């Protein structure tokens, strides 16, 4: 008997032998449309109607979380659908100490995203899990200051930066609580600084991990949280030991085709669901056969268990329609692959 998308995700999370096939989900940015809650909701629902994935991850522009502090950005045609920041809020170390805590129901851009979630939840119906993107305090701080400025301030003026991060964490925690009231099933928590090329392990523990735990704690009441570890040379084992055992994030996603661990290696230390299998490069520049080959390899690595088939990050907006379909097609033949 075929399962609904929600039932399939729940069976996958439980490693239930009744699972009919591995679930699959892809997500992308919707540039220009993401500047208005109505058009972002419409674009997200239209994408889901076309591809019928097993969960829907809402992908607003990263600036939604910091525009209420004064950041500005512009759409300039990036292939991933992301925008370039044209105005940074943090110029000098003292600026971190003057960020106010925001009310997500009153701040213009945060409240607009809450409105967007309500529209998507109503249009999606109850049978498909809905996840809202939430950026970690460090990820938001990077966009407020610029990556190089953040790291320099963090190392030279740690107390000022920590005060700013605590403000961001409190605001984000409140946003998570407000988003939960819209009926989402989980958060997609984007961590961008748990990688050796940006911060040392000690720096990430101090300025990242502790605030990640505070920020996401309300989401422990949700059943479908997904952690995204962005970048290369990630501190996978640290996060596995610190966040996964709490049960907060039953799904983890990372660039498994570009950086260790592989899906199979990750399943040795992580008892939840691994998400990935297809590289961004292949889904854009490969053909359908190459996409299916990577997807089939992901299913073979995991024996089709505890796997949410997808990409290591967003699907670029230039990805061919046929390649997106190819990812979906592979799961329908997963039993023959195994």
Residue 251 and residue 308 in contact, taking contact as beta carbons nearer than 8 Å: yes
pTM of the model: 0.97
The pLDDT, as a whole number, for residue 333 is 82
In this prediction, residue 1 carries a pLDDT of 63
Where helices occur in 181-256 by DSSP H, the ranges are 201-204, 210-216, 236-242
Residue owning tokens 């998507």: 120
Backbone angles phi, psi at 134, to 5 degrees: -130, 125
What tokens appear for 28 in the block?
Answer: 């992308």
- The pair of structure tokens assigned to 38 is 């109505």
Check: CB of residue 247 under 8 Å from CB of residue 13: no
Q: Where are the beta strands (DSSP E) in the chain?
A: 55-58, 72-74, 84-87, 129-135, 186-191, 226-229, 251-254, 273-278, 307-311
Distances (CA, A) of 65 to 132, 142, 168, 239, 284: 12, 12, 9, 23, 28
- What pLDDT tens digit does each residue of the chain (338 aa) get? 689 999 999 999 999 999 999 999 999 999 999 999 999 999 999 999 999 999 999 999 999 999 999 999 999 999 999 999 999 999 999 999 999 999 999 999 999 999 999 999 999 999 999 999 999 999 999 999 999 999 999 999 999 999 999 999 999 999 999 999 999 999 999 999 999 999 999 999 999 999 999 999 999 999 999 999 999 999 998 877 776 656 799 999 999 999 999 999 999 989 999 999 999 999 999 999 999 999 999 999 999 999 999 999 999 999 999 999 999 999 988 776 76
CB 181 within 8 A of CB 222: no
166, containing H or E segment: helix 158-180
Residue 330 to residues 178, 213, 333: CA-CA distances in angstroms? 37, 36, 5
Range of the domain at 239: 5-337
DSSP 95-113: GGGGPPPP-TTTSHHHHHH
Give SS3 for 277: strand
Task: Look at residue 246 in the predicted model and tell me its pLDDT.
Answer: 66
What is d(CA 54, CA 66) in angstroms, rounded to the nearest whole number?
Answer: 30
3-state secondary structure of 300: helix
| CA 75 – CA 264 distance, rounded (Å) | 38
Residue 216: give its domain's CATH number. Answer: 3.20.20.210
C-alpha span between 326 and 293 (Å, rounded): 10
Per the structure, the count of domains in the chain is 1
């Amino acid at each position: 008997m075929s399962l609904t998308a929600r039932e399939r995700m729940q069976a996958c999370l439980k490693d239930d032998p009744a699972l009919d096939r591995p679930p699959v989900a892809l997500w992308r940015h919707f540039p220009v449309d993401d500047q208005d809650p109505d058009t972002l909701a419409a674009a997200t629902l239209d994408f889901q109607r076309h591809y019928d994935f097993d969960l829907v991850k809402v992908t607003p522009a990263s600036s939604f979380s910091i525009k209420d502090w004064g950041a500005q950005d512009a759409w300039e045609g990036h292939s991933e659908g992301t925008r370039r920041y044209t105005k940074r809020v943090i110029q000098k170390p003292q600026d971190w100490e003057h960020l106010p805590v925001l009310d997500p129901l009153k701040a213009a851009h945060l409240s607009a995203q809450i409105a967007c979630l309500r529209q998507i939840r109503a249009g999606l119906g109850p049978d498909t899990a809905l996840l809202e993107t939430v950026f970690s305090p460090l990820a938001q701080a990077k966009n407020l200051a610029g990556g190089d400025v953040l790291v320099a301030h963090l190392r030279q003026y740690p107390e000022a930066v920590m005060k700013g991060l605590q403000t961001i964490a409190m605001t984000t925690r409140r946003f998570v609580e407000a988003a939960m009231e819209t009926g989402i099933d989980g958060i997609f928590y984007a961590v961008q600084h748990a990688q050796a090329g940006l911060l040392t392990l000690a720096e990430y523990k101090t300025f990242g991990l502790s605030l990640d735990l505070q920020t996401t704690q309300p989401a422990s009441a949700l059943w479908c949280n997904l952690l995204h570890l962005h970048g290369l040379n990630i501190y996978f084992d640290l996060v596995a030991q610190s966040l996964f055992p709490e049960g907060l994030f039953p799904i983890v996603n990372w660039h498994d085709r570009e950086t260790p661990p592989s899906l199979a290696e990750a399943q040795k230390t992580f008892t939840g669901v691994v998400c990935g299998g297809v590289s961004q490069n292949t889904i854009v520049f490969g053909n359908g056969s190459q996409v299916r080959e990577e997807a089939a390899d992901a299913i073979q690595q995991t024996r089709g268990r505890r796997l949410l088939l997808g990409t290591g990050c967003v699907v670029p907006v230039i990805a061919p329609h046929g390649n997106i379909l190819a990812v979906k097609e592979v799961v329908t033949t997963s039993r023959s692959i195994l």
